[in-house]
Amino acid sequence: MHGRVKVKSTAQQEEEKRKEREKKLKAFVSARDAVLRKRSAGEHDEEALQLTQQLLSSNPDFATLWNYRREVLLQLETSREKDEVQKLYESELHFIEACLKVNPKSYGCWHHRSWVNTRLPQPDWTRELGLCDRCLSLDERNFHCWDYRRVVVKESGVSVEQELQFTDRLIGSNFSNYSSWHYRSTLLPQLHPQPAPDSASNTSPSPTASPQIHSHRVCEEQLLKEYELAHNAFFTDPNDQSAWFYYRWLLGRAEREEMISCVYVSRERERVSVAFSKPVHAQSEGLMLVLDGQPQQVEWRSTHPRLRHSPVWLCDLPPGSVSDISNEHNLTVHWTEKYTHRDCALYTGCAESWCRDSATDQELFRSELSVEKSSVLQAELQSCNQLLELEPQNKWCLLTIILLMRALDPLGHEKETLAHFQTLKEVDPMRSSYYSDLCSKFLIENTILKMEYAEVRVFSLSNKNLTTLCHLDQLLLVTHINLSSNQLLRLPPQFAMLQCLEVLEADDNAIESLEGLYHLPKLEEVSLRNNQICKLSDLESLASCTKLTRLDLRGNPVHKTANIDSELSQLLPLVTALSL
Amino acid sequence: MTATLFSPNTLLLDKHADYIAAYGSKKDDYEYTLSEYLRMSGIYWGLTVMDLMGQLSRMNREEIIEFIKSCQHDCGGISASTGHDPHLLYTLSAVQILSLYDSINVIDVDKVVDPFHTLFGVAGLSLLGDEQIKPVNPVFCMPEDVLQRIGLQPDLLN
């Protein structure tokens, strides 16, 4: 359609071809000019229909001509009887079908066809459904046709069962049918909805939630049948992604409850740090801070100017309100938009306090696939492992096994998971960066879980081939972090969420950017040996970390900068121990 | 699509730029003429790539700007080419081209963006039951939750 197929031919054949194309072009241009002239003259007659037909037959994407054609047809309607109008539009449907043969994915054609059905005194939905069947048999993934089919189904009242059977037929004849599987995922919850869950625990349900309308989940009995269907598909053809994606949808993705996950209070800085379960825009969320029963006028700010939507927000308490360490205080943060809140008590003699839901309790890192009972997940893991024995290099199988293991027991399966990632990078090297990043994410999750279990505020993940950082909102309370000997390229703005950080070790990476080391109020010591910090400007944000006294920059290209010693002491006057 | 043994593994930037620079002059080309219905977008695609390659100056800025001016209709929308009907797609492409050329004001900007129609359009969709849009109050044409939060209620006139 866009290019021209190169065919070897003699000079004479070339010349003949050229002449023919010139002729075609001339005919097209004169017809086009004639049509546009008629249009501006406001002529709505048979000739307009003929000209547009001629042009659209070879160029059905010429949208303006369909617009014109509709104007003409509407005009003609006014002078015709009902049965003539029926005939007029029926022949229009024939014409559209011919155009669809030229380009089955023409927006103009499908739109015009929908329009014609609104003008037909008696639309024939059976025929329209038949057209969809035929188009889909030629191209199963023609989304224009799928959209049109949905309209036809709705207008003609075809039942969900019938459509489900339709997907049965398509999938049965060819498992590689992404669109059919997808369509199935929209039909099943309508036919076999999951019954409404019991009322929620500590928060009142949101007024807009409605399980009937908003749940896209399927009841268990039907799910088990669907698992079998998916098994059949990927055991038959393990390399086709459609069934694997459907399978992942079946295994489910839990909706995470919206809540305040952590409130941290610092007496010294008279500051409150709040972590939410998802990125928010604090000013739009109806946040209210109550101190000892009194609502406080506070202004919320993000930890970094680049993060206008962030899971972590800060505010300053009125001066003197909590600074006296002999006083006890009770703080509550209300998230009025979500009808939830979190309390935090600041005890006498304590310089700081926090209240946090553990990631373990929240099953935070299992929400990838967590709707099912573990017995079901275990059975699915077994099936996939069986397939892996037959197809040890199948990437879909490997990835699904990793996800199942994480849903069941992230820490227990850590070793196996790392081994599978290694295999994945070997069998699918084009996506090795994706696997490295995903593996990094899972390792970070596991480290957070281990840190919680040990009840410490030290996060250590060195020499683990980390390529990216994530879940930084979960590290709000961390005081010491060790990321040495990895493959990190930057400390992104999100790093500024580590509001309690005192010591950072990130030697032996490839770090170029320190954007996230921004207004970290407790940061005292930073070691960035053997990284890729090149310019003085890369270190600018450190000036905002006013407690920083020790900085190790040995083994970075920046040491070659002219007068680097004096430049740095100007930029960071508070740093007393500087190594270059 | 798999790379064959003979595929180049570097971008032949000069050749790409030459191709695009020459493309617009193929006015007697059949495919070129047939694709007139998307001309505005085609121009944008070509220009943006030339800009990425640092060769935007090779394109005919004045001619393109005149072309865009000739494509704006009374309603404010812009068509793919002269004589074609205005459409959102080509209005966007035109605005993108003019941004590249820092010449946004050669068209009637106020007409292109009609805030009332846009707002009414969104409100209309909500009132028609579009689930992805918040419930909208038909009197104030504002989201219901905003009205609740600021305590605004219509007073019926006696």
pLDDT digits (tens, 9 = 90+) for A309-334: 899 999 999 999 999 999 999 999 99
ipTM: 0.76
Asked whether the beta carbons of residue A24 and residue B149 sit closer than 8 angstroms, the reply is no
The torsion region of residue A264 among left (phi > 0), alpha (psi -120 to 50) and beta comes to beta
H or E stretch at A550: strand A550-552
Q: What is residue A376's predicted lDDT score, i.e. its pLDDT? A: 86
Average pLDDT, stretch A527-532? Answer: 97
The pTM of this model reads 0.77
Distance separating alpha carbons of residues B16 and A132, to the nearest angstrom: 40
Rg for chain B (alpha carbons), in Å?
22
Task: List the single best residue of B85, B87, B148, B150 to mutate versus A (max A Cβ within 10 A).
Answer: B85
In tens, the pLDDT along B89-139 reads 999 899 989 988 989 889 888 888 776 666 767 777 777 777 777 787 777
Q: How close A62 gets to chain B, by Cα (Å)? A: 5
Which chain A residues are within 8 Å of B131, Cβ to Cβ?
213
- Which of B88, B5, B100 is CA-nearest to residue B43? B100
Share of chain A above pLDDT 90, in %: 75
Nearest to B30 among A24, A36, A40 (CB): A24
Q: What is residue B98's predicted lDDT score, i.e. its pLDDT? A: 92
Q: What is residue A218's predicted lDDT score, i.e. its pLDDT? A: 80
Q: What is residue A275's predicted lDDT score, i.e. its pLDDT? A: 96
Q: What is residue A213's predicted lDDT score, i.e. its pLDDT? A: 37
Nearest to A21 among B30, B85, B149 (CB): B30
Q: What is residue B125's predicted lDDT score, i.e. its pLDDT? A: 72
Q: How close B61 gets to chain A, by Cα (Å)? A: 25
- Which of A560, A528, A532 is CA-nearest to residue A545? A528
Q: For residue B154, name the pLDDT band (cuts at 50, 70, 90).
A: low
Which chain A residues are within 8 Å of B29, Cβ to Cβ?
25
Which chain B residues are within 8 Å of A28, Cβ to Cβ?
30, 33-34
Match 């209005």 to its residue by tokens: B91
Residues of chain B whose C-beta is under 8 A from some C-beta in A? Answer: 28-31, 33-34, 36-38, 79-80, 83-85, 87, 131, 149
Q: Per-residue pLDDT for B32 more than 60?
A: yes
In tens, the pLDDT along A106-163 reads 999 999 999 999 999 999 999 999 999 999 989 988 999 999 999 999 988 999 999 9
Asked whether the beta carbons of residue B79 and residue A2 sit closer than 8 angstroms, the reply is no
More confident residue, A466 or B1: A466
HEC string of chain B? Answer: CCCCCCCCCCCCHHHHHHHHHHHCCCCCCHHHHHHHHHHHHHHHHHHHHHHHCCCHHHCCHHHHHHHHHHCECCCCCEECCCCCCECHHHHHHHHHHHHHCCCHHHCCHHHHCCHHHHHHHHHHHHHCCCCCCCCEECCCCEEHHHHHHHCCCCCCCC
Asked whether the beta carbons of residue A28 and residue B33 sit closer than 8 angstroms, the reply is yes
Q: What is residue A210's predicted lDDT score, i.e. its pLDDT? A: 35
Share of chain A above pLDDT 70, in %: 93
8 Å CB contact between A371 and A217 = yes
Average pLDDT, stretch B21-48? Answer: 89
Task: List the single best residue of A52, A64, A428 to mutate versus B (max B Cβ within 10 A).
Answer: A64
In tens, the pLDDT along A81-110 reads 999 999 999 999 999 999 999 999 999 999
Asked whether the beta carbons of residue A63 and residue B36 sit closer than 8 angstroms, the reply is no
Q: How close A55 gets to chain B, by Cα (Å)? A: 10
In tens, the pLDDT along A372-405 reads 678 888 999 999 999 999 999 999 999 999 999 9
Average pLDDT, stretch A416-434? Answer: 96
Q: What is residue A568's predicted lDDT score, i.e. its pLDDT? A: 92
Alpha-carbon dihedral B68, B41, B62, A36, rounded to 10 degrees: -50
Q: For residue A6, name the pLDDT band (cuts at 50, 70, 90).
A: low
Contacts of residue A302, defined as CB under 8 A and 6 or more positions apart, other chains included, come to: A282, A308, A310, A312, A313, A314
Average pLDDT, stretch A193-205? Answer: 55
Distance separating alpha carbons of residues B10 and B66, to the nearest angstrom: 36
Nearest CA in chain B to A34: B83
Nearest CA in chain B to A213: B131
Average pLDDT, stretch B35-54? Answer: 93
Q: What is residue A5's predicted lDDT score, i.e. its pLDDT? A: 67
In tens, the pLDDT along A167-198 reads 999 888 887 789 999 999 999 988 888 776 65
Q: What is residue A88's predicted lDDT score, i.e. its pLDDT? A: 95
Distance separating alpha carbons of residues A6 and A14, to the nearest angstrom: 11
Nearest to A29 among B33, B80, B149 (CB): B33
Q: For residue A201, name the pLDDT band (cuts at 50, 70, 90).
A: very low
Average pLDDT, stretch A17-35? Answer: 91
Q: How close B95 gets to chain A, by Cα (Å)? A: 20
Task: List the single best residue of B84, B88, B90 to mutate versus A (max A Cβ within 10 A).
Answer: B84
Nearest to B33 among A4, A25, A67 (CB): A25
Average pLDDT, stretch A557-563? Answer: 92
In tens, the pLDDT along A501-519 reads 999 999 999 999 999 999 9
Q: Per-residue pLDDT for A7 more than 60?
A: yes
In tens, the pLDDT along A210-229 reads 333 345 678 888 888 999 99
Average pLDDT, stretch B2-7? Answer: 64
Q: What is residue B152's predicted lDDT score, i.e. its pLDDT? A: 77
Mean residue pLDDT across chain A = 90
Q: How close B120 gets to chain A, by Cα (Å)? A: 23
In tens, the pLDDT along A462-489 reads 999 999 999 999 999 999 999 999 999 9
Nearest CA in chain A to B36: A62
Nearest to A25 among B30, B131, B149 (CB): B30
Write b or e for each residue in A272-293: b if 16 or more Cβ atoms lie within 10 A of its Cβ, otherwise e. bbbbbbeebebeebebebebee
Q: Per-residue pLDDT for A45 more than 80?
A: yes
Work out how many CB contacts closer than 8 A connect A with B.
38
- Which of A469, A202, A180, A223 is CA-nearest to residue A369? A223
Q: Which two tokens stand for residue A50?
A: 């003929």
Q: How close A64 gets to chain B, by Cα (Å)? A: 5
Residues of chain A whose C-beta is under 8 A from some C-beta in B? Answer: 2, 4, 21-22, 24-25, 28-29, 32, 36, 39-40, 58-59, 61-64, 67, 213, 286
Asked whether the beta carbons of residue A63 and residue B85 sit closer than 8 angstroms, the reply is yes
Contacts of residue A124, defined as CB under 8 A and 6 or more positions apart, other chains included, come to: none
Which chain A residues are within 8 Å of B71, Cβ to Cβ?
none
Q: What is residue A196's predicted lDDT score, i.e. its pLDDT? A: 64
H or E stretch at A21: helix A11-40
- Which of A261, A316, A268 is CA-nearest to residue A291? A316
Task: List the single best residue of B30, B35, B87, B136 to mutate versus A (max A Cβ within 10 A).
Answer: B30
